[in-house]
Amino acid sequence: MRGWAGDLGAQFRRLIATHGPMPVARFMGESNAHYYATRDPLGLSSGADGGDFVTAPEISQMFGELCGLWLADVWMRAGGPTDPIYAELGPGRGTLARDVLRAMAGAGLRPEVHLVEGSPVLRGLQGAAVPGARFHEDAASLPDDRPLLILANEFLDALPIRQLVRTDRGWRERLVGLREDSFVFVAGDQPMDEAIPDRFDGASEGTVVETCPGATAAIRHLAERLSRQGGAMLLIDYGHLDPQSGSTLQAVRAHRKVSPFAAPGEADLTAHVDFATLAQIAERNGCHVQTATQGDWLREMGIELRAAALAKSAPEQSEDLALACNRLVHADEMGKLFKVLAVIAPDWPAGAGFTSSGG
Ligand code: SAH
């Protein structure tokens, strides 16, 4: 579809055969661009729609409602400045935006809606879920004259990562090459030692260090905007709060992990988000930050009370609500692996829900 002549795997093979191995970042970036441009990837494995993976807002409306209340609460305590913008990055089916906006409306906040989405297929679904939303290819074109209330759930993990690998000759970029007709990881020729932070000096051979230039640039841009325009941002994704090494590149298809090389452009490629680095960048650009695990944050935000209230008005759903709540907060489900990073404009107040993590 859409300008891709044939199979992306075959194109990658031809490119590598002609020009040599390609950086992991290019492999991941082109795979995901094709993947998201050509389908709606979301679905419950048990449902008729199948899909490849499911996200928190698709599990329960409670997730989006609490995100909406969080943003509305910060906005109110900042004095309720006029004409704020709700901006969401990678809005999927538009489910999260719809739940957020309903909760905001209940709190008396009706912002203009701006969605940053590259995929034409998903823009169609988002437009239907949130009539009147305006679309952007990139956060750079968001309005620059009003406060921003920004949300991104499982957006950053889809951005291409660069990998560096420790070899017996020092650090090299990790590339995708071919052995016979199969994709394999190989190390580049150029020394990359200067690109590696000092703390990895003693790393053993085979150690992989990842960076995500797209996420770094996005956070710097948005933190600068928040500093200038006012506002707050919630970034929710799976990843780590402390610096880490090791390859986290993975592919998911039909709710199962597959090799990232199995079907380029037909499986979702993701990597863990390095929240430690993103928080540091936001602070360097004038904002203050708070972090928590998703489970702790949702509990502090009152998800259990919200589930009980919903169950009271729809008793036949109480079992489903309890299951959804468990899936979002339990340490063995999404509660611990997923993290929440709040980035807040310098003169705006700290956000709710981070008390137990000392935010
Ligand atoms: N936030 C949604 C969807 C997550 S899937 C949810 O929680 O359900 C990832 C989303 O990010 C999709 O909407 C995808 O199209 C979008 N996306 C991925 N890479 C992107 C890029 N480089 N630019 C803009 N959007 C991107």
- Report which of 212, 162, 178, 160 is spatially closest to residue 11, judged by C-alpha positions: 178
| 172-217 per-position pLDDT tens digit | 999 999 999 999 999 999 999 999 989 998 999 999 999 999 999 9
Pairing of strands 148-153, 182-191: unpaired
Cα–ligand 1 centroid distance for 152 (angstroms): 9
Mutate to test the pocket of ligand 1, among 66, 117, 161, 273 (most ligand atoms within 8 A of CB): 117
Token pair listed for 107: 């709190």
pLDDT band for position 43 (cuts 50, 70, 90): confident
Question: ∠ at Cα 291 (286, 294), nearest 5°?
Answer: 145
With a 6 A CB cut-off, is 237 part of the ligand 1 pocket?
Answer: no
| 90-101 per-position pLDDT tens digit | 999 999 999 999
| 300-323 per-position pLDDT tens digit | 999 999 999 999 999 999 999 999
With a 6 A CB cut-off, is 118 part of the ligand 1 pocket?
Answer: yes
Report the mean per-residue pLDDT for the chain: 95
The strand ranges marked E within the chain are: 22-23, 85-89, 112-116, 134-136, 148-153, 162-167, 170-179, 182-191, 208-211, 231-240, 250-253, 256-258, 268-270, 273-274, 288-293, 338-344
pLDDT at 45 over 80: no
Looking at residue 46, its pLDDT comes to: 63
Token pair listed for 86: 């709700």
Quote the pTM value: 0.95
Please say whether the beta carbons of 227 and 281 come within 8 A.
Answer: no
The arrangement of secondary structure in 56-160+212-252+265-344, i.e. its CATH architecture, is 3-Layer(aba) Sandwich (3.40)
Domain ranges within the chain, ordered by starting residue = 8-37+162-210, 56-160+212-252+265-344
Q: Residues, the chain, total? A: 359
- Report which of 331, 340, 333 is spatially closest to residue 293, judged by C-alpha positions: 340
Q: For residue 95, which amino acid is it?
A: T
Euclidean distance between CA atoms 97 and 132, whole angstroms: 12
Does residue 222 come out as left (phi exceeding 0), alpha (psi in the -120 to 50 range) or beta?
alpha
**Which residue is closest in CA terms to ligand 1's atom 6?**
92
